[in-house]
Amino acid sequence: MAEFGVYVHIPFCRHRCDYCAFATWTDRDHLMQAYTDAVIADIGNKVAAGMPVADTVFFGGGTPTRLAPEMITSIVRAIPVSQNAEITIECNPDDVTLDMMQQYVASGINRISIGVQSMVSHVLHSLNRTHDPENVVKAIDHARAAGISSINLDLIYGVHGETLDDWRITLEGALALRPTHVSAYGLTVEAGTPLADDPARHPDDDDQADKYVLADDMLTAAGLTNYEISNWALTGHECRHNKVYWEQGNYEGFGCASHSHKDGRRYWNVRTPDRYITCVANGESVEAADEVLDTETRAREALELSLRTANGVPVGTLDVEPLEGLVEVQGTHVVLTRQGRLLANEVSLRLKP
């Protein structure tokens, strides 16, 4: 049975990256306290309405570490959580201090996700990222000194101007930090971003495939197991919050633009922090819209999500013979090979719910 998750969206950023299409703002810092208060009030309303105790909590953004640690901890403490809950916060390495990490730990946060993207300066510049790679090392030192042992590093490959050797340097640098989890994503082009408007910087599929293979080789050799196409972890450090999504579990989203799911109904909040604050203050619903999945659609999505994981899909839901080399049968399930992971979208078109 899937656990129950809570997601908290923090929409504030110091700087907007060229590839980002998330609901984030660089000019709304004056709303931070009002936004924090609104999130806490919204949580209180949902708890009063019967929201389950959370098994996983995830602070994403935006840049959650833009909020003062006191604001983050006040939100954490407003969320009823189960014993041994996983509580994760995304961190910009430039923001992290020992005091911040100590306050996080005192509130119950026990997992951090560092936005590394690359350990090579010119690649970060190509992404229009502003952090200093050296601050990644300091951030992890601070986290460990505060008592956080579960550490994810977010990496991006396929950036314009990034060579295979650059990517190898990033992977070596990341592994030298002894993370318990690594997420490595191929750069994607999102409509409406500066990256989308500059075709010369768009990623190349063959280049990304080569870099994925290198990542899988190096991360696996370091003892991290691929348990979802873009995610590798030491045993016991798989991201429980992401598993809620992949297993179609129920979760509640707080903050502007956050998404929720309950038993086949997906719903999402108003997009801007200003509107979210106003809705909460006026006692209005923060939902912007919803959709209800029919049984067939939900079953199809369950297979598509499971196919992306090491669990695979039940035998009989894929015709294995035409997919030789892309899938393999392991007991009662069919799982993607590494080549199949590179072509997962094409394989999923062959699923038979």
Domains and CATH numbers, the chain: 5-246 (3.20.20.70), 296-348 (no CATH)
Contact 142, 103 (CB under 8 A): no
pLDDT at 257 over 80: yes
DSSP state of 27: S
pLDDT at 353 over 80: no
pLDDT band at 190 (very low <50, low <70, confident <90, very high): confident
pLDDT band at 38 (very low <50, low <70, confident <90, very high): very high
Contact 308, 246 (CB under 8 A): yes
Q: What is the pLDDT of residues 168-180, one digit of tens each?
A: 999 999 999 999 9
Peptide bond into 223 cis (omega under 30): no
Bridge-based pairing of strands 81-91 and 54-61 is parallel
pTM of the predicted protein model: 0.96
Mean pLDDT of the chain: 95
Q: How far is CA 231 from the centre of its chain?
A: 10
pLDDT at 156 over 70: yes
User: Hey, which residues does 261 pair with through a beta bridge?
Assistant: 251, 266
Q: Give me the percent of the chain exceeding a pLDDT of 90.
A: 88
Q: How far is CA 236 from the centre of its chain?
A: 18
CA-CA-CA-CA torsion for 110, 111, 115, 121, nearest 10 degrees? 80
Name the more confident of 346 and 26: 346
pLDDT at 40 over 90: yes
pLDDT band at 1 (very low <50, low <70, confident <90, very high): low
pLDDT band at 17 (very low <50, low <70, confident <90, very high): confident
Give the residue from 352, 254, 221 showing the smallest Cα distance to 37.
Answer: 254
User: Hey, which residues does 290 pair with through a beta bridge?
Assistant: 267
Distance separating alpha carbons of residues 135 and 276, to the nearest angstrom: 33
Q: Indicate the burial class of 46 (C-beta count within 10 angstroms; 0-12, 13-18, 19 or more).
A: middle
pLDDT, position 78: 98
Our separate counts of H helices and E strands in the chain read: 12, 15
Distance separating alpha carbons of residues 152 and 102, to the nearest angstrom: 18
pLDDT, position 133: 85
pLDDT at 2 over 80: no
Contact 61, 100 (CB under 8 A): no
Q: What is the pLDDT of residues 100-145, one digit of tens each?
A: 999 999 999 999 999 999 999 999 988 888 778 889 999 999 999 9
Token pair of 12 as six digits:
């504030």
Contact 112, 91 (CB under 8 A): yes
pLDDT at 157 over 80: yes
pLDDT band at 197 (very low <50, low <70, confident <90, very high): confident
pLDDT, position 199: 87
